[in-house]
Structure 1
Amino acid sequence: MVLSDLTCPHVDCNGRICMIDPSELLRPEAKFASKPVSHYRDYSIDLDDPLKERVRRTYTEMHTNQCVKFVSEKMAEWLRFNKFKDTIMNTLMKLNFLVDESDPDADIPNIVHAFQTAERIREEHPNDDWFHLTGLIHDLGKVMAFYNEPQWAVVGDTFPVGCAWGDSIVYRDTTFENNPDTYNPLYNVKYGIYQPNCGLDEVLMSWGHDEYMYRMLLHNKCKLPEQGLYMIRFHSFYPWHTGGDYDHLCSPKDFRMKQWVLEFNKYDLYTKGGSLPDVEELKPYYQSLIDKYIPGILEW
């Protein structure tokens, strides 16, 4: 979504349908919340609310189209890293013109969220500069939206394809009926194409900014530690780290790393709606981290 297109048309209805988001079981502790706790990740359906309708439509498109074939095609396209070349900071500035259409918690440019997340991490983990940088760039894969990708193939919660849909996926009961994998007997069972406890490294995730950014960083020989790369790759995998699904696919490494993802997510989610950072004032510090961990012009 560009900044000039922040509204959605109303849809008339006679009532409101309520749907409980499973992730409300892990709403923030009060000290992390920048608004009332109950207001985070609210995926209730209200056809009279333009923001909620925008979110619901984005997830409906996502859950209709994200299948094994689609993900395989997108990986073949994007993992050639031949779209453009640029630095981390220049690419980050593009997020000033992106509003995430899947996000019920924020209706502001994504660059604000990037610096909010990084600064909150910096405040509470002052000695872990790699963690600060991870917070800054965790959503940078959303740059795909500027290269002809619809937002449903860029943003939002992620989930495995090639096996049964997890119960805690948002809008799970109403949005997968037109996905071809829903009816494929190879894919619509618990393990699908995977082996028990194969590890998330072996799982094909729905295509989006998490997997793309992780792969891009590896391609460009990023020096972030493993836990930082893991946070970037799985921070949107809410059906697992928050909803409790897909443990049967996880390895011991995944269970160890899950604690890092949960630590990261309290800053990612719960800084939304907080004070606005002074981006220009903060840029020199974060440029120094970029120069340390992932310098120069990169292949995207």
Structure 2
Amino acid sequence: MTMVESRPAILLALLIFLEMELTLTMGGTDCPLDLSGLNFTLAASICSNKEDRGKCCRYINAFVAVSVARYANATSNLGVSSDLSEICLSSMSKTLELYGVARNATVFCGFGTKIPVNYECEGRTTVTQMLQSPKFVDVTDNCKLPLSEERSCKKCLNAGILYLRNLIGAVDNMTLSTCRDATFAALASQVDNVSAVDIASCFFGVQGLITPSVSEPSPSLLSPEASPSPLVAASPSQLSLVVPPNETHHRYHLTLIPSVGIAVTGSCYYDAAYKKISGRSFVYVSKI
């Protein structure tokens, strides 16, 4: 093939590459949510398996949450405005599909409903409002990076559970899920990109969110001065994570159980739910 004959193919490849980069950077012409630098390879593989739908949805949730955290870092807003929601949902769906994630994945994961692009939590729409809410300082103190170790991650998640219980109490699962994501976005907006991904890996129980070429920076700490003194809330003894002693090296993240409440999920998919017996609260753990 001569140079002249190969030019159309080269031009086409260049156009495809530019389209992919623009889609990742902007998420679409008018969507400010940034998906650049994220690695969709593992998610694409997982979402192609019907048996891994739960894990697939956690990846999609994590991708969206990281992009919202980046947006919050730049604007202090916990997501895009309502007039941009549909635009972002459409463009981000196309980006996921472009990088190999099954087309129906966003449908069965509830992209736009269960996984929104705006994390308003009980009237709180900004990072500042989250940071200044009661008990958020405890989340900040217990989520110091790195969170790659199981003990550190569980400590962070425990603080997040207690914070949400104190903040919103008994609410519907949609509100609980959105406030969980708002908690993540507020935390992650305070650190650099790679550190934000570290927090996401803990919160959503997923790995490989960024390309291998991105190296880990030295651990950065979330500043406890960002939040005021916390108000009195439920005792930690009323809400703890119970994990069988023979299960080790698992990732944990906040998730939900229909009509029950907060749960903790790891790589072996543990479900924990609040139950009350004889007036005592505890966490029931089952392995699926």
Judge same fold: TM > 0.5, yes or no.
no
Please state which structure has a larger fraction of its residues in strand: 2
Tell me which structure has the larger Cα radius of gyration. 2
Greater RCO, CA 8 A, separation 6+? 1
TM-score normalised to structure 2 length: 0.28
